[in-house]
A and B are shown apart, each in its own frame.
Chain A
Amino acid sequence: MNFTLRVWRQKNAREKGCLETYQARDISEDMSFLEMLDVVNENLVKDGIEPIHFDHDCREGICGACSLVINGIPHGGKKGCTTCELRMRNFADGDTITVEPFRAGAFPVIKDLMVDRSALDRIMQAGGFVSANTGGAPDANALPIKKDTVESAMDAAACIGCGACVAACKNASAMLFVSAKVSHLAQLPQGQVERVERVRKMVARMDFEGFGNCTNYYECEAVCPKEISVKNIARMNREFLKAITK
Protein backbone atom coordinates (compact mmCIF):
# COMPACT_ATOMS: atom_id res chain seq x y z
CA MET A 1 0.00 0.00 0.00
CA ASN A 2 1.10 3.58 -0.63
CA PHE A 3 0.08 6.67 1.26
CA THR A 4 0.72 10.39 1.21
CA LEU A 5 1.32 11.65 4.75
CA ARG A 6 0.87 15.21 5.93
CA VAL A 7 2.71 15.24 9.22
CA TRP A 8 3.03 18.02 11.80
CA ARG A 9 6.70 18.94 12.22
CA GLN A 10 7.76 21.26 15.00
CA LYS A 11 11.32 21.66 16.24
CA ASN A 12 10.46 22.42 19.84
CA ALA A 13 7.86 24.00 22.10
CA ARG A 14 8.86 27.55 21.22
CA GLU A 15 9.09 27.37 17.45
CA LYS A 16 6.13 27.35 15.12
CA GLY A 17 5.35 24.11 13.38
CA CYS A 18 3.83 23.22 10.01
CA LEU A 19 2.51 20.25 8.06
CA GLU A 20 5.11 18.51 5.86
CA THR A 21 4.28 16.01 3.15
CA TYR A 22 5.99 12.60 2.97
CA GLN A 23 5.39 9.47 0.93
CA ALA A 24 4.89 6.09 2.59
CA ARG A 25 5.65 3.38 0.03
CA ASP A 26 5.30 -0.41 0.03
CA ILE A 27 3.47 -0.54 3.33
CA SER A 28 2.01 -3.88 4.38
CA GLU A 29 -1.67 -3.73 5.21
CA ASP A 30 -0.93 -5.69 8.41
CA MET A 31 1.42 -3.02 9.75
CA SER A 32 0.27 -0.87 12.61
CA PHE A 33 0.15 2.88 12.11
CA LEU A 34 3.32 3.24 14.18
CA GLU A 35 5.15 0.55 12.17
CA MET A 36 4.21 2.47 9.04
CA LEU A 37 5.78 5.58 10.61
CA ASP A 38 8.88 3.49 11.47
CA VAL A 39 9.25 2.63 7.77
CA VAL A 40 8.80 6.26 6.78
CA ASN A 41 11.38 7.28 9.40
CA GLU A 42 13.94 4.75 8.13
CA ASN A 43 13.65 6.30 4.69
CA LEU A 44 13.89 9.80 6.13
CA VAL A 45 17.10 8.84 7.95
CA LYS A 46 18.52 7.41 4.71
CA ASP A 47 17.73 10.71 3.02
CA GLY A 48 19.42 12.64 5.81
CA ILE A 49 16.16 14.13 7.10
CA GLU A 50 15.39 14.14 10.82
CA PRO A 51 12.90 11.36 11.58
CA ILE A 52 9.37 12.13 12.77
CA HIS A 53 9.19 12.11 16.56
CA PHE A 54 6.23 10.39 18.18
CA ASP A 55 5.42 8.75 21.51
CA HIS A 56 5.17 4.98 21.77
CA ASP A 57 5.95 2.27 24.27
CA CYS A 58 4.16 -1.07 24.68
CA ARG A 59 2.62 -1.14 21.20
CA GLU A 60 -0.09 -3.46 22.44
CA GLY A 61 -2.72 -0.95 23.49
CA ILE A 62 -2.25 -0.97 27.24
CA CYS A 63 0.34 1.65 28.19
CA GLY A 64 -1.28 4.87 26.99
CA ALA A 65 1.94 6.26 25.48
CA CYS A 66 0.93 6.45 21.85
CA SER A 67 -1.17 9.35 20.68
CA LEU A 68 -1.60 11.07 17.28
CA VAL A 69 -4.64 12.71 15.76
CA ILE A 70 -5.17 10.93 12.47
CA ASN A 71 -7.43 12.68 9.94
CA GLY A 72 -8.90 14.75 12.78
CA ILE A 73 -9.63 11.84 15.15
CA PRO A 74 -7.39 10.84 18.09
CA HIS A 75 -6.13 7.26 17.63
CA GLY A 76 -7.56 7.24 14.11
CA GLY A 77 -11.24 6.56 14.74
CA LYS A 78 -11.38 2.77 14.97
CA LYS A 79 -13.60 1.99 17.95
CA GLY A 80 -11.76 0.94 21.10
CA CYS A 81 -8.37 1.03 19.42
CA THR A 82 -5.12 2.84 20.16
CA THR A 83 -2.90 4.19 17.38
CA CYS A 84 -0.42 1.37 17.95
CA GLU A 85 -3.15 -1.20 17.29
CA LEU A 86 -4.58 0.58 14.28
CA ARG A 87 -3.73 -1.45 11.15
CA MET A 88 -3.06 0.11 7.79
CA ARG A 89 -5.81 -2.03 6.23
CA ASN A 90 -8.22 0.45 7.78
CA PHE A 91 -7.07 2.94 5.17
CA ALA A 92 -7.46 2.78 1.39
CA ASP A 93 -4.44 2.46 -0.85
CA GLY A 94 -3.40 5.92 -2.06
CA ASP A 95 -5.05 7.78 0.82
CA THR A 96 -3.71 11.10 2.03
CA ILE A 97 -3.46 10.90 5.83
CA THR A 98 -3.03 13.97 8.04
CA VAL A 99 -1.22 13.32 11.31
CA GLU A 100 -1.25 15.96 14.03
CA PRO A 101 -0.29 15.92 17.71
CA PHE A 102 -2.89 15.82 20.51
CA ARG A 103 -3.77 19.50 20.78
CA ALA A 104 -4.62 21.30 24.00
CA GLY A 105 -3.17 24.26 25.84
CA ALA A 106 -2.44 21.86 28.69
CA PHE A 107 -0.53 19.52 26.31
CA PRO A 108 2.34 21.63 24.95
CA VAL A 109 4.16 20.15 21.97
CA ILE A 110 7.63 18.85 22.85
CA LYS A 111 8.64 18.00 19.32
CA ASP A 112 6.70 17.04 16.18
CA LEU A 113 3.94 14.69 17.34
CA MET A 114 5.14 14.35 20.93
CA VAL A 115 3.23 16.34 23.52
CA ASP A 116 3.75 16.81 27.23
CA ARG A 117 0.87 15.05 28.96
CA SER A 118 2.28 15.39 32.47
CA ALA A 119 -0.70 17.59 33.40
CA LEU A 120 -2.64 14.33 33.69
CA ASP A 121 -0.01 12.96 36.08
CA ARG A 122 -0.28 16.09 38.21
CA ILE A 123 -4.06 15.59 38.45
CA MET A 124 -3.37 12.02 39.65
CA GLN A 125 -0.89 13.36 42.19
CA ALA A 126 -3.46 15.88 43.42
CA GLY A 127 -5.84 12.96 43.98
CA GLY A 128 -3.39 11.69 46.56
CA PHE A 129 -3.10 8.37 48.29
CA VAL A 130 -5.54 5.67 49.31
CA SER A 131 -5.50 4.78 53.00
CA ALA A 132 -4.77 1.09 53.53
CA ASN A 133 -4.36 -1.06 56.58
CA THR A 134 -0.85 -2.22 57.22
CA GLY A 135 -0.02 -5.84 57.88
CA GLY A 136 -0.26 -8.92 55.76
CA ALA A 137 -2.18 -9.15 52.54
CA PRO A 138 -5.92 -9.40 53.26
CA ASP A 139 -7.62 -12.71 52.68
CA ALA A 140 -9.39 -13.16 49.39
CA ASN A 141 -13.08 -12.32 49.67
CA ALA A 142 -12.61 -10.77 53.11
CA LEU A 143 -14.11 -7.59 51.70
CA PRO A 144 -17.20 -8.52 49.70
CA ILE A 145 -18.10 -6.10 46.88
CA LYS A 146 -21.10 -6.48 44.60
CA LYS A 147 -20.29 -7.81 41.16
CA ASP A 148 -21.95 -4.88 39.37
CA THR A 149 -19.90 -2.46 41.45
CA VAL A 150 -16.69 -4.31 40.72
CA GLU A 151 -17.45 -4.33 37.00
CA SER A 152 -18.31 -0.63 36.97
CA ALA A 153 -15.18 0.31 38.94
CA MET A 154 -13.06 -1.87 36.69
CA ASP A 155 -14.54 -0.26 33.57
CA ALA A 156 -13.44 3.12 34.91
CA ALA A 157 -10.04 1.76 35.96
CA ALA A 158 -9.46 0.61 32.37
CA CYS A 159 -8.43 4.20 31.55
CA ILE A 160 -4.82 4.16 30.31
CA GLY A 161 -4.45 7.93 30.63
CA CYS A 162 -3.54 8.49 26.99
CA GLY A 163 -5.32 11.86 26.82
CA ALA A 164 -7.31 11.12 23.66
CA CYS A 165 -10.42 12.43 25.47
CA VAL A 166 -8.73 15.80 25.84
CA ALA A 167 -7.55 15.77 22.24
CA ALA A 168 -11.02 14.94 20.93
CA CYS A 169 -12.98 17.33 23.14
CA LYS A 170 -13.81 20.52 21.28
CA ASN A 171 -13.13 22.34 24.57
CA ALA A 172 -9.96 20.34 25.38
CA SER A 173 -11.62 19.22 28.60
CA ALA A 174 -10.10 16.43 30.69
CA MET A 175 -13.38 15.44 32.33
CA LEU A 176 -13.49 11.88 31.01
CA PHE A 177 -9.97 11.13 32.26
CA VAL A 178 -10.52 12.69 35.68
CA SER A 179 -13.96 11.16 36.05
CA ALA A 180 -12.60 7.70 35.26
CA LYS A 181 -10.04 8.09 38.03
CA VAL A 182 -12.59 9.49 40.48
CA SER A 183 -15.19 6.84 39.57
CA HIS A 184 -12.76 4.00 39.92
CA LEU A 185 -12.02 4.70 43.59
CA ALA A 186 -15.35 6.26 44.60
CA GLN A 187 -17.12 2.97 43.95
CA LEU A 188 -14.78 0.74 45.94
CA PRO A 189 -14.55 0.43 49.72
CA GLN A 190 -10.82 1.13 49.52
CA GLY A 191 -11.50 4.58 48.12
CA GLN A 192 -13.96 5.78 50.76
CA VAL A 193 -11.64 7.45 53.28
CA GLU A 194 -10.41 10.18 50.92
CA ARG A 195 -13.49 10.15 48.68
CA VAL A 196 -14.64 13.73 49.25
CA GLU A 197 -11.18 15.32 49.29
CA ARG A 198 -10.11 13.38 46.21
CA VAL A 199 -12.78 14.74 43.89
CA ARG A 200 -12.29 18.30 45.15
CA LYS A 201 -8.55 18.21 44.69
CA MET A 202 -8.59 16.51 41.33
CA VAL A 203 -11.17 18.91 39.90
CA ALA A 204 -9.24 21.89 41.28
CA ARG A 205 -6.03 20.60 39.70
CA MET A 206 -7.75 19.85 36.41
CA ASP A 207 -9.00 23.44 36.24
CA PHE A 208 -5.62 24.81 37.27
CA GLU A 209 -3.87 22.95 34.45
CA GLY A 210 -5.94 24.91 31.93
CA PHE A 211 -8.18 22.20 30.51
CA GLY A 212 -11.48 23.45 29.08
CA ASN A 213 -14.95 22.98 30.52
CA CYS A 214 -17.13 20.01 29.67
CA THR A 215 -20.17 20.89 27.57
CA ASN A 216 -21.34 17.31 27.04
CA TYR A 217 -20.25 16.81 23.43
CA TYR A 218 -19.31 13.22 24.31
CA GLU A 219 -16.57 13.16 21.68
CA CYS A 220 -14.26 11.89 24.44
CA GLU A 221 -16.20 8.68 24.86
CA ALA A 222 -16.30 8.09 21.10
CA VAL A 223 -12.51 8.11 20.74
CA CYS A 224 -11.54 6.51 24.05
CA PRO A 225 -9.51 3.39 23.23
CA LYS A 226 -10.83 1.82 26.43
CA GLU A 227 -14.41 2.90 25.65
CA ILE A 228 -14.87 4.66 29.01
CA SER A 229 -18.47 5.83 29.28
CA VAL A 230 -19.50 9.43 29.97
CA LYS A 231 -21.65 8.02 32.79
CA ASN A 232 -18.40 8.43 34.76
CA ILE A 233 -18.56 12.18 34.12
CA ALA A 234 -22.09 12.17 35.55
CA ARG A 235 -20.77 10.27 38.56
CA MET A 236 -17.97 12.78 39.06
CA ASN A 237 -20.47 15.64 38.81
CA ARG A 238 -22.48 13.88 41.50
CA GLU A 239 -19.41 13.29 43.67
CA PHE A 240 -18.40 16.92 43.26
CA LEU A 241 -21.88 18.17 44.13
CA LYS A 242 -21.82 16.05 47.28
CA ALA A 243 -18.32 17.27 48.13
CA ILE A 244 -19.11 20.97 47.86
CA THR A 245 -22.33 20.66 49.86
CA LYS A 246 -20.60 18.79 52.68
Chain B
Amino acid sequence: MSTVQVSSGPAQTSSMVLSSSIGKKLFMAATGLFMSLFVLGHLVGNLQIFLGQDQLNTYAQALKDLPALTWSVRTVMFICLVLHVWRGIQLYFENRASRPVRYHVNATVQASLASRTMIFTGIGIFLYVVYHLLHYTFIVTNPQYAGLHDALGRHDVYSMVVLGFQNGWISAVYVLAMLCLCYHLTHAIPSFFQTLGLNNDKTRLRFDIIGWLIATVIFIGYTMIPVAVLLKLVILPEGGM
Protein backbone atom coordinates (compact mmCIF):
# COMPACT_ATOMS: atom_id res chain seq x y z
CA MET B 1 0.00 0.00 0.00
CA SER B 2 1.26 3.43 -0.77
CA THR B 3 1.85 5.75 2.10
CA VAL B 4 -0.29 8.82 2.23
CA GLN B 5 0.53 12.01 4.08
CA VAL B 6 -1.52 12.64 7.18
CA SER B 7 -3.45 15.80 6.72
CA SER B 8 -4.35 17.50 9.91
CA GLY B 9 -4.66 20.91 8.32
CA PRO B 10 -5.76 21.76 4.81
CA ALA B 11 -4.71 19.04 2.42
CA GLN B 12 -1.99 20.04 0.02
CA THR B 13 -3.49 20.49 -3.39
CA SER B 14 -0.42 19.80 -5.47
CA SER B 15 0.46 16.51 -3.79
CA MET B 16 -3.14 15.32 -3.86
CA VAL B 17 -3.47 15.53 -7.61
CA LEU B 18 -1.69 12.24 -8.20
CA SER B 19 -1.36 10.66 -4.77
CA SER B 20 -5.01 10.73 -3.72
CA SER B 21 -7.33 7.91 -4.64
CA ILE B 22 -9.41 10.21 -6.85
CA GLY B 23 -6.25 11.63 -8.42
CA LYS B 24 -5.23 8.09 -9.38
CA LYS B 25 -8.60 7.58 -11.03
CA LEU B 26 -8.20 10.80 -12.98
CA PHE B 27 -4.75 9.70 -14.05
CA MET B 28 -6.05 6.37 -15.37
CA ALA B 29 -8.91 8.17 -17.12
CA ALA B 30 -6.64 10.71 -18.82
CA THR B 31 -4.03 8.21 -20.06
CA GLY B 32 -6.84 5.87 -21.11
CA LEU B 33 -8.53 8.64 -23.07
CA PHE B 34 -5.40 9.40 -25.10
CA MET B 35 -4.91 5.74 -25.92
CA SER B 36 -8.57 5.31 -26.88
CA LEU B 37 -8.35 8.26 -29.25
CA PHE B 38 -5.24 6.72 -30.77
CA VAL B 39 -7.07 3.39 -31.21
CA LEU B 40 -9.82 5.20 -33.13
CA GLY B 41 -7.33 7.10 -35.28
CA HIS B 42 -5.36 3.93 -35.96
CA LEU B 43 -8.58 2.22 -37.05
CA VAL B 44 -9.27 4.94 -39.62
CA GLY B 45 -5.78 4.33 -41.01
CA ASN B 46 -6.13 0.55 -41.05
CA LEU B 47 -9.51 0.51 -42.77
CA GLN B 48 -7.89 2.06 -45.82
CA ILE B 49 -6.75 -1.46 -46.65
CA PHE B 50 -10.21 -1.92 -48.16
CA LEU B 51 -9.46 0.90 -50.60
CA GLY B 52 -6.58 -1.07 -52.06
CA GLN B 53 -2.81 -1.34 -52.01
CA ASP B 54 -2.13 2.11 -53.44
CA GLN B 55 -4.29 3.96 -50.93
CA LEU B 56 -2.89 2.16 -47.86
CA ASN B 57 0.71 2.52 -48.99
CA THR B 58 0.18 6.20 -49.83
CA TYR B 59 -1.22 6.73 -46.33
CA ALA B 60 1.68 4.82 -44.74
CA GLN B 61 4.20 6.80 -46.76
CA ALA B 62 2.48 10.06 -45.78
CA LEU B 63 2.88 9.16 -42.10
CA LYS B 64 6.50 8.22 -42.73
CA ASP B 65 7.09 11.61 -44.34
CA LEU B 66 5.87 13.31 -41.17
CA PRO B 67 8.40 12.00 -38.66
CA ALA B 68 7.76 14.85 -36.24
CA LEU B 69 4.08 13.90 -36.02
CA THR B 70 4.51 10.13 -35.90
CA TRP B 71 7.28 10.24 -33.34
CA SER B 72 5.54 12.70 -31.08
CA VAL B 73 2.37 10.59 -31.17
CA ARG B 74 4.44 7.47 -30.54
CA THR B 75 6.19 9.12 -27.61
CA VAL B 76 2.93 10.26 -26.01
CA MET B 77 1.41 6.81 -26.57
CA PHE B 78 4.44 5.09 -25.09
CA ILE B 79 4.33 7.28 -21.99
CA CYS B 80 0.56 6.81 -21.61
CA LEU B 81 0.83 3.06 -22.06
CA VAL B 82 3.66 2.58 -19.59
CA LEU B 83 2.08 4.82 -16.97
CA HIS B 84 -1.42 3.37 -17.42
CA VAL B 85 -0.16 -0.21 -17.12
CA TRP B 86 2.23 0.52 -14.28
CA ARG B 87 -0.39 2.46 -12.30
CA GLY B 88 -3.06 -0.13 -13.08
CA ILE B 89 -0.95 -2.97 -11.69
CA GLN B 90 0.00 -0.87 -8.67
CA LEU B 91 -3.67 -0.07 -8.01
CA TYR B 92 -4.60 -3.74 -8.33
CA PHE B 93 -2.20 -4.71 -5.56
CA GLU B 94 -3.06 -1.65 -3.47
CA ASN B 95 -6.74 -2.54 -3.67
CA ARG B 96 -6.12 -6.16 -2.76
CA ALA B 97 -4.10 -5.00 0.24
CA SER B 98 -7.07 -2.94 1.41
CA ARG B 99 -8.74 -6.20 2.42
CA PRO B 100 -5.99 -8.29 4.02
CA VAL B 101 -8.38 -11.00 5.25
CA ARG B 102 -10.57 -12.20 2.39
CA TYR B 103 -14.16 -13.41 2.57
CA HIS B 104 -14.86 -17.15 2.64
CA VAL B 105 -17.99 -16.64 0.58
CA ASN B 106 -17.69 -14.19 -2.28
CA ALA B 107 -20.78 -12.86 -3.98
CA THR B 108 -21.29 -10.27 -6.68
CA VAL B 109 -24.56 -8.37 -6.92
CA GLN B 110 -24.16 -6.02 -9.86
CA ALA B 111 -20.47 -5.50 -10.71
CA SER B 112 -20.04 -6.37 -14.40
CA LEU B 113 -17.63 -9.08 -15.48
CA ALA B 114 -15.77 -6.44 -17.50
CA SER B 115 -15.21 -4.33 -14.37
CA ARG B 116 -13.86 -7.33 -12.48
CA THR B 117 -11.47 -8.41 -15.22
CA MET B 118 -9.90 -5.03 -16.08
CA ILE B 119 -6.46 -6.08 -14.87
CA PHE B 120 -6.53 -9.26 -16.99
CA THR B 121 -7.92 -7.71 -20.17
CA GLY B 122 -5.45 -4.87 -19.60
CA ILE B 123 -2.46 -7.20 -19.35
CA GLY B 124 -3.75 -9.04 -22.42
CA ILE B 125 -3.83 -5.80 -24.39
CA PHE B 126 -0.36 -4.80 -23.19
CA LEU B 127 1.19 -8.13 -24.22
CA TYR B 128 -0.51 -7.86 -27.57
CA VAL B 129 0.74 -4.30 -28.12
CA VAL B 130 4.31 -5.49 -27.51
CA TYR B 131 3.88 -8.29 -30.03
CA HIS B 132 2.08 -6.03 -32.50
CA LEU B 133 4.94 -3.50 -32.44
CA LEU B 134 7.51 -6.24 -32.95
CA HIS B 135 5.40 -7.73 -35.74
CA TYR B 136 4.31 -4.79 -37.90
CA THR B 137 6.04 -1.64 -36.63
CA PHE B 138 9.59 -2.73 -35.99
CA ILE B 139 9.33 -5.89 -38.14
CA VAL B 140 11.32 -8.05 -35.74
CA THR B 141 9.27 -11.25 -35.66
CA ASN B 142 8.90 -11.51 -39.45
CA PRO B 143 11.99 -9.76 -40.94
CA GLN B 144 11.01 -10.77 -44.48
CA TYR B 145 8.38 -7.96 -44.42
CA ALA B 146 11.16 -5.38 -44.53
CA GLY B 147 11.93 -6.26 -48.13
CA LEU B 148 8.37 -5.68 -49.37
CA HIS B 149 8.07 -2.77 -51.80
CA ASP B 150 5.32 -1.74 -54.18
CA ALA B 151 5.62 -0.60 -57.81
CA LEU B 152 6.49 2.94 -56.67
CA GLY B 153 9.24 1.64 -54.42
CA ARG B 154 7.38 2.44 -51.21
CA HIS B 155 7.34 0.06 -48.26
CA ASP B 156 4.43 -2.27 -49.10
CA VAL B 157 2.36 -2.09 -45.93
CA TYR B 158 -0.62 -3.57 -47.77
CA SER B 159 1.14 -6.82 -48.64
CA MET B 160 2.70 -6.97 -45.19
CA VAL B 161 -0.75 -6.88 -43.56
CA VAL B 162 -2.23 -9.42 -45.97
CA LEU B 163 0.71 -11.82 -45.50
CA GLY B 164 0.50 -11.41 -41.75
CA PHE B 165 -3.20 -12.18 -41.51
CA GLN B 166 -3.02 -15.11 -43.92
CA ASN B 167 -1.48 -16.85 -40.93
CA GLY B 168 -4.47 -18.19 -38.96
CA TRP B 169 -2.62 -18.04 -35.65
CA ILE B 170 -1.68 -14.40 -36.03
CA SER B 171 -5.27 -13.56 -36.97
CA ALA B 172 -6.61 -15.52 -34.00
CA VAL B 173 -4.29 -13.73 -31.58
CA TYR B 174 -5.31 -10.43 -33.14
CA VAL B 175 -9.04 -11.12 -32.73
CA LEU B 176 -8.49 -12.27 -29.14
CA ALA B 177 -6.58 -9.07 -28.40
CA MET B 178 -9.41 -7.01 -29.90
CA LEU B 179 -11.87 -8.86 -27.62
CA CYS B 180 -9.73 -7.93 -24.61
CA LEU B 181 -9.50 -4.33 -25.79
CA CYS B 182 -13.20 -3.92 -26.41
CA TYR B 183 -14.26 -5.67 -23.22
CA HIS B 184 -11.83 -3.39 -21.36
CA LEU B 185 -13.43 -0.38 -23.06
CA THR B 186 -17.00 -1.36 -22.11
CA HIS B 187 -16.03 -0.64 -18.50
CA ALA B 188 -13.43 2.03 -19.23
CA ILE B 189 -15.64 4.40 -21.22
CA PRO B 190 -18.52 4.71 -18.70
CA SER B 191 -15.89 4.86 -15.92
CA PHE B 192 -14.22 7.77 -17.66
CA PHE B 193 -17.40 9.84 -17.39
CA GLN B 194 -18.00 8.74 -13.80
CA THR B 195 -14.44 9.65 -12.77
CA LEU B 196 -14.67 13.07 -14.37
CA GLY B 197 -17.87 13.63 -12.42
CA LEU B 198 -20.02 13.93 -15.53
CA ASN B 199 -22.33 11.07 -14.59
CA ASN B 200 -25.70 11.10 -12.88
CA ASP B 201 -28.72 8.83 -12.67
CA LYS B 202 -30.06 10.08 -16.02
CA THR B 203 -26.83 9.73 -17.98
CA ARG B 204 -25.74 6.42 -16.49
CA LEU B 205 -27.45 4.08 -18.95
CA ARG B 206 -26.49 6.40 -21.81
CA PHE B 207 -22.79 6.20 -20.95
CA ASP B 208 -23.02 2.42 -20.63
CA ILE B 209 -24.58 2.25 -24.10
CA ILE B 210 -21.99 4.65 -25.53
CA GLY B 211 -19.25 2.44 -24.07
CA TRP B 212 -20.67 -0.68 -25.67
CA LEU B 213 -21.26 1.10 -28.98
CA ILE B 214 -17.71 2.46 -29.25
CA ALA B 215 -16.26 -0.89 -28.15
CA THR B 216 -18.37 -2.74 -30.71
CA VAL B 217 -17.44 -0.35 -33.53
CA ILE B 218 -13.75 -0.75 -32.67
CA PHE B 219 -14.06 -4.52 -32.46
CA ILE B 220 -15.90 -4.89 -35.77
CA GLY B 221 -13.66 -2.35 -37.49
CA TYR B 222 -10.40 -4.01 -36.52
CA THR B 223 -11.62 -7.60 -36.80
CA MET B 224 -12.96 -7.03 -40.32
CA ILE B 225 -9.38 -6.87 -41.62
CA PRO B 226 -8.07 -10.34 -40.67
CA VAL B 227 -11.49 -11.84 -41.44
CA ALA B 228 -11.45 -10.30 -44.92
CA VAL B 229 -7.92 -11.59 -45.49
CA LEU B 230 -8.79 -15.10 -44.32
CA LEU B 231 -11.93 -15.10 -46.50
CA LYS B 232 -9.71 -13.99 -49.39
CA LEU B 233 -11.72 -10.79 -49.85
CA VAL B 234 -8.50 -8.86 -49.44
CA ILE B 235 -5.70 -10.53 -51.40
CA LEU B 236 -2.11 -9.85 -52.40
CA PRO B 237 -1.80 -7.60 -55.45
CA GLU B 238 -1.30 -9.39 -58.76
CA GLY B 239 2.10 -9.32 -60.37
CA GLY B 240 4.00 -9.49 -57.11
CA MET B 241 4.87 -7.05 -54.43
Contact surface of A with B, Cβ cutoff 8 Å: 6, 8, 19, 69, 71-73, 77, 98, 100, 103-106, 109, 126, 168, 170-173, 175, 197, 200-201, 203-208, 210-219, 221-223, 229-231, 233-241, 243-244, 246
Contact = CB atoms under 8 A, between A and B. Distances in A.
Given A212-B95, A212-B98, A204 B11 contact: yes
Contacts of A223: 109
Contacts of B10: 197, 200-201
B198 interface: yes
B99 A172 contact: yes
B41 interface: no
B186 to A, nearest CB: 12
Given A216-B190, A218-B111, A219-B109, A207 B197 contact: no
B103 interface: yes
Given A197-B10, A213-B94, A244 B111 contact: no
Contacts of A221: 110
A72 B197 contact: no
21 contacts: A72-B105, A73-B109, A105-B97, A105-B99, A170-B95, A170-B111, A173-B98, A197-B10, A200-B13, A204-B4, A204-B7, A207-B19, A211-B21, A213-B95, A216-B115, A218-B110, A222-B109, A231-B201, A237-B195, A237-B197, A244-B23
Contact of A215 (B13, B95, B109): B95
Interface of B: 1, 4-7, 10-11, 13, 16-17, 19-26, 91, 94-95, 97-111, 115-116, 118, 187, 190-191, 193-201, 204
Contacts of A73: 107, 109
A234 B11 contact: no
A244 B17 contact: yes
B194 to A, nearest CB: 5
Interchain residue pairs A-B with the least CB separation, the first 7: A238-B197, A72-B107, A212-B98, A171-B95, A217-B111, A222-B109, A72-B105
